Amino acid sequence: MNIDLNLKIGGAAGQGLQTTGMALAKTLKKSGFHVFATQYYLSRVRGGHNTFQIRISDSPVFAMTETVDILLALDGESITQHMSELKEGVVVVDSDVIDVKENADSIFHVPMLKIAKDVCGDKIYSNSVSMGAVIGLLCLELSNLEFILKAAFKKKGDGVIQNNIDAARAGYNYVKENYPGGCKFEVSDPGKKEEMMLVNGNEAVGLGALAAGVQFLAAYPMTPSTGVMTYVAANADKFNVVVEQAEDEIAALNMILGASFAGARSMTTTSGGGFSLMTEALGLASITETPAVIFLCQRPGPATGLPTMTEQGDLQFVLNAAQGEFPRCILAPGTPEECFYLTTEAFNIADKYQIPVFVMSDQYLADSLFTCPRFDTSKVLVERHLLSDQELRTKKEEYKRYKLTPLGISPRALPGQEGVLVVADSDEHDEFGHINEDPVNRIKMNDKRMKKLEVLREEMPEAKVYGSSDASISLMGWGSTYGSLAEVVDILNDGGKSVNLVYFTHIHPIPVEPTKKLLAKAKKTVCVENNSTGQFSRLLKVDADINVTEHILRYDGKPFSPEFIIAALKEKGVI
C-alpha cells in the first residue's frame, strides 16, 4: 500500500455531507483508487454532529482507520472533535462562516461561501467549491469530479451542472493558488482502470435479491435495513417485483409466508426490533416448511437502542428466536460481494430446505461504500425445487405436503396447481398438513424438520482463511468485521508476526469437523466481535465444542478499526 489517505467530512445533518461525500467517493474511485467510505450519523434529520469518511488507496481497502489527512469541516464541532485525529493533515474550513477557535498551521481557510456567491451567485454551490478544494489538495485532475457532477445533476439541467462545475473549478483553483506548494498530497492517479464497483452493503443485498429472482418483498421500514427495501422498490417495476410496505413486521413476515407458500420467491427486511415482532411468524415458517429469506440488519439494542450505530448483538437471538425447536440457516456477509452472493444463496437454501434463512448484516456494512470487482451474475443460479405440473400429472399417490422422506425434505407443490391440494398448518400436523396431536406423529414430524438441519450442515462451506493456514495466532470473526481483521493480519504479518484470520460467513449450522481442523494449528485463538458477550464464540462452543482463548469485544456502537484491534491484542498480551 503506497497510498493510504483518509478524508473526513464533518458537519450537521442537513449540511450536505452525504452528497459531498458520495460525489468525492465516486470521483476518487473513477480516478482509479480503491475506496472505502463510511458514515457516522445520529438519529435525527437535521443538526447533530455527523461524519462521512473516505479512505483511498492503491490497494484494496475494506476498513476505516482512525487517523485523518484531510478534514473538511462544515461546522466548528468538526474541528473540536477531530483535530486530534490529524497527524500531518490539513483542515479545510471556511473561516468566514465558522468561528474557528483553534489556531494551528494545519488550518487552511477556503472562502467557500464567498466563492460560491462570486462565481455562481448562490451559496448553495459552496459544497461543490469544497469538493474542488479537496481534489486540488490531492493534486488530482479536476476532470473526474466534473464528470461525476455532470451525472449527479443531470436531472437539474445544464445551468445547474455548469454552476456546480464552475464552483468546483473555483475551489480547485483557490487551492492551487493559495495552498503553500500548490497542493497538500501528491497522489498521482494510480491508473488502474479495471471495472470496479463502488457499492454499499445494502445495495449489494438488493442486487443479490434481484439477481436471485425475488418476486415479492414485504417489510416495515427500520434503520438500518430500509436501504434494501428501497433499493428493490426502486427497481421493482423493471424486475416485475411486488413490494408492499406492511402495517407492521408481524404482517410483513406473515405476508411473505403466504406469498411464498403460493409460489412467489419472497423476502422481508428488518432490524432487531422489527425482528422481535417477527419471531412468532418465524416459527410458522418452520413448522409450515415455507421458504423465507429474512434480511436482518443489526443495530445496537435492546429495544430502540442506538438506531444509527452498529453492533453484532443479535446472533444469539436469531439462533434461538421463537418457541420450540426447529431448523434455520444464518449467513453473514462481510463485504458487498458477499452481500450479493450470499443473498442469492439464501434464496436457494430457503427453497431447497423449505426453512427460514437469514442474511445478517449490520449498520456498518449496510451503510459503508466499498470498491470491489464487478459482481459476476453468471455465478448466480436460481434453484426453485418445485414440482412441475408434469411431475404432478404422473404422480401415483395423493399429494402429501409433508411427506416423510429420508432427508426430511418433502417434494413441494403449490396451491392452485391442478390435481393437488396443498395444506399447511401451524399446529403439529400429519403428512397431509392436517392437525394431528398424536405423540408418534409428533416425533416423526419433529425429527423430519430437525433432520434438514443436519443435511444442511453437511452442505455448509467451512470458514475462509485469510493469511497463512498454519499461523500461530488465529483471529476469528464473522460478518462485517472482515475488513478490519484482514488488515490487522496484513499489518501484523508485515511486522514479523504469525497471524491469520479464520472468518465465517456461514454461521449456522456450522460444519463441525472442518471448523475444528481450521483452528487446530493455532496456539491462540482470538474471537473479535462487535458485542459485549462473545455471541459467536458461544455458538462455536455449543455447536462445535470449540473453545476460544481470547476475546476482543466492542459495543460502544462503533465498528472496529485495525488500530483498535491491534491495541486490544497488545493489551491482552496476545502480541
Which residues contact another protein (rule: CB under 8 A)?
Answer: 195-199, 203, 207, 210-216, 218, 235, 237-242, 244, 246-248, 250-252, 254-266, 280-281, 284, 288, 374-375, 377, 380, 382, 414-427, 433-435
Dihedral pair phi/psi, residue 289, rounded to 5°? 55, 45
Asked if 260 contacts 414 with a C-beta cutoff of 8 angstroms, the reply is no
13/250 with CB nearer another protein: 250
CB of 220 to another protein, least distance (A): 11
CB of 263 to another protein, least distance (A): 3
| DSSP code at position 411 | P
Please count the other Cβ atoms lying within 10 Å of the Cβ belonging to residue 104: 11
Instruction: Give the C-alpha separation, 537 to 133, whole Å.
Output: 47
278/492 with CB nearer another protein: 278
405/426 with CB nearer another protein: 426
CB of 169 to another protein, least distance (A): 25
105/194 with CB nearer another protein: 194
87/193 with CB nearer another protein: 193
CB of 447 to another protein, least distance (A): 22
What's the distance, CA 98 to chain centroid? 35
CB of 257 to another protein, least distance (A): 6
Dihedral pair phi/psi, residue 104, rounded to 5°? -135, 155
Asked if 560 contacts 554 with a C-beta cutoff of 8 angstroms, the reply is yes
Asked if 72 contacts 8 with a C-beta cutoff of 8 angstroms, the reply is yes
Mapping DSSP onto H, E and C, the string for 274-336 reads HHHHHHHHHHHHHHCCCCEEEEEEECCCCCCCCCCCCCCCCHHHHHHCCCCCCCCEEECCCCH
352/506 with CB nearer another protein: 352
The x, y and z cell numbers of residue 485, run together, are: 481483521
Residue 34 bridge partners (DSSP): 57
Residue 109 bridge partners (DSSP): 93
Residue with cell 482502470: 193
CB of 267 to another protein, least distance (A): 12
Asked if 278 contacts 254 with a C-beta cutoff of 8 angstroms, the reply is no
Using DSSP, state whether 201 is helix, strand or coil: helix
88/237 with CB nearer another protein: 237
Instruction: Give the C-alpha separation, 95 to 111, whole Å.
Output: 7
The x, y and z cell numbers of residue 504, run together, are: 465465517
Instruction: Give the C-alpha separation, 159 to 144, whole Å.
Output: 19
CB of 422 to another protein, least distance (A): 5
Going along 431-549, which residue ranges are E strands? 464-466, 473-478, 499-504, 506-508, 524-529
| DSSP code at position 83 | G
Dihedral pair phi/psi, residue 518, rounded to 5°? -60, -30
54/315 with CB nearer another protein: 54
73/257 with CB nearer another protein: 257
CB of 54 to another protein, least distance (A): 16
91/322 with CB nearer another protein: 322
Instruction: Give the C-alpha separation, 189 to 225, whole Å.
Output: 35
312/371 with CB nearer another protein: 371
108/326 with CB nearer another protein: 326
CB of 240 to another protein, least distance (A): 4
Instruction: Tell me the CA distances in angstroms from 547 to 454, 535, 536, one per residue in order.
Output: 22, 13, 11
The x, y and z cell numbers of residue 281, run together, are: 411468524
Q: Which of 18, 172, 147 is nearest to 92 (CA)?
A: 172
Specify burial of residue 87 (Cβ count, 10 A radius: 0-12, 13-18, 19+).
Answer: exposed
172/399 with CB nearer another protein: 399
Q: Which of 33, 42, 38 is nearest to 9 (CA)?
A: 38
Please report the DSSP string for 34-45 in residue order.
EEEEEEE--S-S
343/515 with CB nearer another protein: 343
Instruction: Give the C-alpha separation, 422 to 519, whole Å.
Output: 46
Report the b/e string of 151-184 with b at 16+ CB within 10 A.
ebbeeeeeebbebbbbbbbbbbebbbeebeeebb
Asked if 17 contacts 54 with a C-beta cutoff of 8 angstroms, the reply is no
Instruction: Tell me the CA distances in angstroms from 442 to 290, 322, 348, one per residue in order.
Output: 19, 18, 28
321/574 with CB nearer another protein: 321
